[in-house]
Amino acid sequence: MTRISLPTHHPAEEHLLDYAAGAIDPAAALATATHLTFCPACRDRVAELEAIGGALFDELPPAPVSAGARAALFDHLDDGIDPQPEARPPLPNGGPLLPRPLAALVGGGLESLPWRRLAWNVEEAALPVAAAAMRARLMRIKPGAAIPRHRHGGSEMVAVLAGGFVDAFGEHRRGDLAVHEQDSDHQPVAQAGEDCLCLVVDEAPVRLTGFFARWLNPFLR
Amino acid sequence: MTAAFACGAASGLVGRAPHRQYRRMERRPGEVGEELAALMEAVALRRDRAAFAALFDRLAPRVKSYLMRLGLDAAVAEELTQEVMLIVWRRAASFDPRLAGVSTWVFTIARNKRIDALRRAAHPEIERDDPALVPAPEAAPDERTEAGQWERRLAAAIAELPREQASLLRQSFFDDRSHSEIARSSGLPLGTVKSRLRLAMARLRQAFKDGPR
C-alpha cells in the first residue's frame, strides 16, 4: 500500500511572499520550489500571494507603450506558436524522483555529482545555482548518523528529498522544508532505514557548537 | 499602429465585441477580471487579434510600469513588455481561469521574464506535469473555480490595509528586495517586518476565505 504523505514543515509566510514576488535568492527559490512540488497546501498559499501581486500589478499607473513597439509586436504574432516543452523523463539516477527545477541542476543523475566526504557517514555535493548569493548543495547522510551540533551564522533552508531526520524541531521527511534563522542551534540525526538526502541552502558557513566539535571548525569551509 | 489596425479589421465583426467590452471595462473596473478572462478565451480559441489588441492596451502599459518600477529603463522595459505580451499571445491556451486571474497570470509572466533577463537565471516554476508533483488530496480545484474574481476582492482588501502593511507588500513585489533585505534597508527590526507582513496576509487571506463575491 503506498501512501503519499504530505509535508508537515513549511516555510513561513514571508518566505513564500519573497518567492511569489520574485525577490528571493535563486538558491532559496530552488529550495522553495522543491517544497512546493511536494506540498499542495503551500502551492495554494503561493497562488494566493501571486493573486495579491496581480491585484497590486493591476493598480500600477500605466506607462504608455509606444505605437511603434505595439505595431512591431503585432507584426510578429504569426511567427508561430511556442512549442510546448517536451515531457522530460525522470532522471536515470535510480535515486528518489527529484522535482524538475532540481533535476535540471543535477543533470546526469546523483552519482554524477562531485560528492565530497565530510565524515565517514556524511557527504555533500555543491550545486551551482546561477546568480545565487546563497550556497546550495545536496547532503547525503547515512541512516542513523548524527550531524554535529551546530549554529548558523545566517539563515538556512533544508528540503528533505529522501529518508528523514529528527532534531529539536521534530521529524522531517520527504517534502518537508526546515528553515533555520540566524543563530539557531540544532543537532539533526538521520532516521534509520535509508540514506537521508537533503537540499541545503544557506547564507553563511555553519559553526560547530559542541565541546569537541568546536575543534573541527577550522576544517569546515 | 497601422499594423494593429489592419489586424483588427481582418478579424472583422467577430473582433468588434471585445472592443466594446474593453470600453465598458474602463467605466466599470469591477468587471475587469471577467472581461479580461473573456478576451483571453477569444485569443485562445479563435486567435482573435482584436481581443488581443484590447488585452494589450490594458495590460502592456502595466507590464511596462511594473518593469520600470523595478528599475529597468524605459527602452529595456518596453522591449521586455513586447516579449511578455508575445508570451500572452502564444500561451493563451494554457491560461486557466480556475487557477489565476488574467492580471495575476500576466504578473507572473512579467516577474519571470524580468528574472530571466536580469539574472540570466530562470525562476524555478512548479510545472503541473512534473512527475514528482504531489497532488492535492481532495478535489481542491473545484473550490478554486473563480480565482480570477479574487483580484477584485483583493484590491478592496488591500485598500483597507494599514498604510505600513500595504507599503511593505508593495516593496516586496516592486522593489526586488526580500523581507530581510527590506528590514536591513529600512532600519526596521526583522521581527517587525515579519509580523507586519503576516498581519497583512492574514487580513487578505480573509478575502479568499470569504469567497469570490
Q: Which residues of chain B are within 8 Å of residue A87 when distances are taken between CB atoms?
A: 129
Chain A residue at shortest CA distance from B147: A51
Q: pLDDT value at position B125?
A: 83
Chain B interface includes A12 (CB < 8 A): yes
Whole domain around residue A169: which residue ranges?
A: 9-62+97-221
Chain A interface includes B104 (CB < 8 A): yes
Q: Give the domain CATH number at A35.
A: 2.60.120.10
Chain A residue at shortest CA distance from B135: A40
CA–CA distance from A103 to each of A11, A107, B2, B121, B124 (Å)? 21, 6, 46, 15, 11
Yes or no: say if B206 and B157 are a contact pair by the CB < 8 Å rule.
yes
The pTM (predicted TM-score) of the whole model is 0.85
pLDDT, tens digit (0-9, with 9 covering 90-100), for B170-184: 999 999 999 999 999
Q: Which residues of chain A are within 8 Å of residue B37 when distances are taken between CB atoms?
A: none
Phi-psi category of residue A135: left, alpha or beta, with phi > 0 → left and psi -120 to 50 → alpha = beta
Residue A203 lies in a domain: yes
Rounded to a whole number of angstroms, the distance from the CA of B48 to the nearest CA of chain A is 11
Model ipTM value: 0.86
Chain B interface includes A182 (CB < 8 A): no
List of domains in chain B:
1-124 (1.10.1740.10), 146-213 (1.10.10.10)
Q: How many domains are there within chain A? A: 1
pLDDT, tens digit (0-9, with 9 covering 90-100), for A49-67: 999 999 999 999 999 999 9
Rounded to a whole number of angstroms, the distance from the CA of B73 to the nearest CA of chain A is 12
Residue A2 lies in a domain: no
**Which residue do the cell numbers 509572466 mark?**
B109
Residue A83 lies in a domain: no
Strand order in the sheet with A164-167: A170-173, A164-167, A189-190
Radius of gyration of the CA atoms of chain B, in A:
19
Residue A42 lies in a domain: yes
Q: Is the pLDDT of residue B185 over 90?
A: yes
Q: pLDDT value at position B164?
A: 95
According to DSSP, the residues that pair with A190 across neighbouring strands are A165
Amino acid at B11: S
